[in-house]
Chains A and B, each alone.
Chain A
Amino acid sequence: MNGHPQFEEDFDLYALGALEGEERTAMDSHLKGCPDCAARLEEARGRLALLALSAPTSAPSPAAKQRLLRSLKAPGRRLENPQGFESPRRMGIWRWLTPVSAFAAIVLAALSVWLGVQNGRLSQAVRDVRSQQQRLKAQVRQTQAENARARLVLDVLTSPSTVKVDLVAAEAHPVPQGKAFYNPDKGLLFYAANLPSVPAHWTYQLWLVPAKGNPVSAGIFKPDRGGNGSVLLPPLPTGLTAKAFAVTIEPAGGMQQPTGKKVLIGVVSGQPG
């Protein structure tokens, strides 16, 4: 991969684990050297984590919590059998103990308790040291980041190649724009920029206006915070000759035919190429 991934979905696909082979290795190597793309991947991971919430809601048995809390008191021990079944080998063991082995067992039990207490104290001490180490690392990272930023500010202000531009208030707002790439046999790609956000319960809808007949919906979309939106390869009848493309504002979910205000319109003017 020479440049940055083109679409946000590339990061989603990588975070999902759906990419493989060359696609995955190219992304791996690009991410190692590109902090911007690594940050975009983090956003994708956060977004996809929410998909877990689509699982049907169910609750663990109350015994699961009791097993967890019991396991905390035995540092280093594996979790108990979650089914809660008693091991057959343990059943009735006291019946077979001789007095001597019973005494040895009591001594061992006392020793285990003492070791457990010592272990617990040491674990607490280790946790305290780690916590302190974590705080110090965070302070060092913050100081380094502040120094680096101060150097950058100074560089920009003092560099001979820096240009100074005075800005004044501008009344004009960025003009909404759209680009459609349409091939009757292969599909439609549409990108929009500078679109204002739409209120809740409303959406933008893209229309293909055919040479004959009524407009055909080519999908709904909402722009991101930067005003950018896109519709890629929407399901459309193949071989449809387009006369124009338009974007309207419609109720959430879209309409069968355009009813709202036209935001963008573009007429197909020339031959392909």
Chain B
Amino acid sequence: MSSDMTLIRGVMAGDETALASLYDRYSGVVYSVAKRILDDQGAAEEVLQDIFYQLWRTASNFDESRGGLAGWLLVSARNRAIDRLRRRKPSEGIDDDKPVAVKSSLESEIAQGELMGKVKGALQGLPETQRATLELAYFEGLTHTEIAQRTGEPLGTVKTRLRSALQTLRQALNP
């Protein structure tokens, strides 16, 4: 199995089969997060295609030392889907689409499955109210105030819940 970086070098050289291999490896996780955010198959497929099309056009700008491809794909999928959900211009997004250092490997299907199980297990371990608050922040890109307005909870309660959820999650996901 070729590494991500070998395939990116192939993409840089204009090799379409290298891009197709990266698509086969990551289209599932990229599409799943876009679908979760947008709840629309067509819109989620547009986000998926936009991301891989950008990878094709700008692979030569990819700097491995700043983080791996998997992190960039996951962050881009979330940011672009939320921009679309909230009808924002990409420049108003929550963060840049810059590389992100994800410590765990996602290059094989087995590794992706194991990590998915770990993340889902960590979220299921949270109290329901904390999990719901974290999901509003992550999958809808809402701020503290927006979550308080959406749920009708006091702002202080929302802040405490989100902070506690993140603390538990960090402990659960640390190697």
Binding site for B on A (CB under 8 A): 7-9, 12-13, 15-20, 42-43, 45-61, 64-65, 67-69, 71-72, 79, 82-83, 123-124, 127, 130-131, 134, 138, 221-222, 224-225, 229-230, 232-234, 253
Contact = CB atoms under 8 A, between A and B. Distances in A.
Nearest to A71: B53
A54 B120 contact: yes
Contacts of B160: 233
Contact of A47 (B37, B141, B173): B173
A67 to B, nearest CB: 6
B132 interface: no
A134 B20 contact: no
A interface majority secondary structure: helix
B116 A57 contact: yes
A226 B40 CA distance: 44
Contacts of B85: none
Given A42-B100, A130-B61, A12 B166 contact: yes
Interface in B129-175: 134, 137-139, 141-145, 147, 160, 162-164, 166-167, 169-174
A138 B65 contact: yes
Contacts of B171: 221-222, 224, 229
User: Which of B20, B27, B56, B166 has the most C-beta atoms of chain A within 10 angstroms of its own C-beta?
Assistant: B166
Nearest to B123: A54
A253 B126 CA distance: 11
Interface in B68-108: 70-71, 74-75, 77-78, 94-95, 100-104
Nearest to A222: B171
B6 to A, nearest CB: 14
A83 B42 contact: yes
B102 A46 contact: yes
12 contacts: A7-B163, A15-B95, A16-B94, A20-B145, A46-B67, A47-B170, A49-B102, A53-B115, A58-B35, A127-B60, A138-B65, A221-B171
Given A9-B167, A58-B35, 17 more contacts: A13-B162, A19-B144, A20-B145, A45-B95, A46-B102, A50-B173, A51-B134, A51-B169, A52-B77, A52-B78, A60-B45, A64-B45, A69-B16, A71-B53, A127-B59, A130-B61, A138-B63
Nearest to A80: B49
